[in-house]
Amino acid sequence: MRPRVLFLVPWGVEQPSTRFRVSQYLPYFEDAGVEVVDVVEINGRLSPGELASTFISLLQSLRRSDIVFNHRVPLPAFVSRLLSAKCRVVFDLDDALFVKPFSWSPKKDFAARRRVIDYALGHADAVIAGNDYLADYAKGFSQRVVVIPTGVDTGEDEIDEARFRRWSFTRQVYRPPEGEANRGEVVIGWIGTPNNLCWLDQVGPALRVLQQRHRVQVKVVSGAPWTFPGLEVTNKPWSLAEEVADVQSFDIGLMPLDPDEPFLKGKCGFKIIEYMAVGKPAVASDVGVNASIIRPGYNGYLVSQPDEWLSHLERLVLDAPLRRKMGKEARATVVERYSVRALLPEYLALFRELCQEPGRPAETATLRAH
């Protein structure tokens, strides 16, 4: 009997963070002996009619499922109870959903949202946390918490691209670019959502000095432009089709964060992982999980004081061999610790444990060795 897993996601299969916590793994799960029952999108943007249709579909899929993998969907308590009565439930936590975000609308009731998240954590058979900070919170509600970082597909395994298209998903493979661009300038880049553009302001003064001293291009890939006084910025609209190529176009990647913003402590360092996966060193704020991804002076630099943005970035701008050396180590770090190949066995081990526990329909389910 194959373990049958139903995935619940808050956004479509090609939207973050669904892409990197669920979608990219689906064919690999199937190859390992997991039956992917369905991927069901549930969010507040659905109309009442769509929500009713989704709920009916969910009930039908539950009959064929052994495990429900809930990727951060804040379900009403009665739905959480229904899921746990029918199946083993895994709640996937990749953000500090229990902390009010800096961008939270004052019109929304955050206390109610937190109660829903806490209830889901407490009624799950297991919680997957994207980092130790999230895991520490989840342990207040669950006895089984597993840390699995957010990773990327580094292309170590050959797989038919059509297998991804079955789920309306385009495979993204993060590799270093072929050959080295001869631009005559160093590209310092950032990629992310418009909500996070504000954190670039803390790097603005350093970037301005670098442009005055050296041939430096500042490139920002996002859904909105970023500007800073006295700084020339190349703003490029984000697109899924060009995301990997855009990251490959950087020579150095940036990830500034505010150390005093509690919500940011739950970030999984994904920007850093993207940069490093394509062989680029990152310079990032020493906040949260960033310190466990970057080894300063080895595969990137961490910034704890404002003046370090300029010193670390200028060192990399002036030393191309150092950038290449760090980029090579950065790539190796991701392949070893943050790639689909490295992380897949951790998901499979959890599915195996849940399927082997007595009193559930999946008692006899088996997974092929991977």
Regarding predicted confidence, which is higher, 14 or 70? 70
On the question of pLDDT at 95 being above 60, the answer is yes
Tell me, rounded to whole angstroms, the distance of Cα 50 from its chain centroid: 27
Predicted pLDDT at 51: 75
Predicted pLDDT at 334: 98
On the question of pLDDT at 46 being above 90, the answer is no
Mean pLDDT, the chain, as a whole number?
91
Predicted pLDDT at 72: 94
Judge contact between 203 and 258, C-beta under 8 A: no
Q: Quick one: average pLDDT of 283-311?
A: 96
pLDDT digits (tens, 9 = 90+) for 218-267: 999 999 999 999 999 999 999 999 999 999 999 999 999 999 888 999 99
Q: Quick one: average pLDDT of 126-150?
A: 96
Where does the pLDDT of residue 181 fall: very low under 50, low under 70, confident under 90, or very high at 90 and above? low
What domains sit in the chain, N to C, each tagged with a CATH number?
4-171+339-356 (3.40.50.2000), 186-338 (3.40.50.2000)
On the question of pLDDT at 369 being above 60, the answer is no
Q: Quick one: average pLDDT of 172-200?
A: 90
Q: Quick one: average pLDDT of 15-24?
A: 92
Predicted pLDDT at 359: 60
SS3 labels along the chain: CCCEEEEEECCCCCCCCHHHHCHHHHHHHHHCCCEEEEEEECCCCCCHHHHHHHHHHHHHHHCCCCEEEEECCCCCHHHHHHHHHHCEEEEEECCCCCCCCCCCCCCCCHHHHHHHHHHHHHCCCEEEECCHHHHHHHCCCCCCEEECCCCECCCCCCCCCHHHHCCCCCCCCCCCCCCCCCCCCEEEEEECCHHHHHHHHHCHHHHHHHHHHCCEEEEEEECCCCCCCCCCEEEEECCHHHHHHHHHCCCEEEECCCCCCHHHHHCCCHHHHHHHHCCCCEEEECCCCHHHHCCECCCEEEECCCCHHHHHHHHHHHCHHHHHHHHHHHHHHHHHHCEHHHHHHHHHHHHHHHHHCCCCCCCCCCCCCC
On the question of pLDDT at 182 being above 70, the answer is no
Q: Quick one: average pLDDT of 100-122?
A: 84
Lowest mean pLDDT: which of 82-91, 141-150, 314-323? Answer: 82-91
On the question of pLDDT at 167 being above 80, the answer is yes
Q: Quick one: average pLDDT of 293-306?
A: 96
Q: Quick one: average pLDDT of 277-303?
A: 97
Predicted pLDDT at 272: 97
- Quote the CA–CA distance of 343 and 350 in Å, as a whole number: 11
Where does the pLDDT of residue 364 fall: very low under 50, low under 70, confident under 90, or very high at 90 and above? very low
pTM: 0.91
On the question of pLDDT at 70 being above 80, the answer is yes
Predicted pLDDT at 44: 67
The pLDDT > 70 percentage for the chain reads 94
The pLDDT > 90 percentage for the chain reads 71
Judge contact between 6 and 61, C-beta under 8 A: yes
Where does the pLDDT of residue 1 fall: very low under 50, low under 70, confident under 90, or very high at 90 and above? low
Where does the pLDDT of residue 104 fall: very low under 50, low under 70, confident under 90, or very high at 90 and above? confident
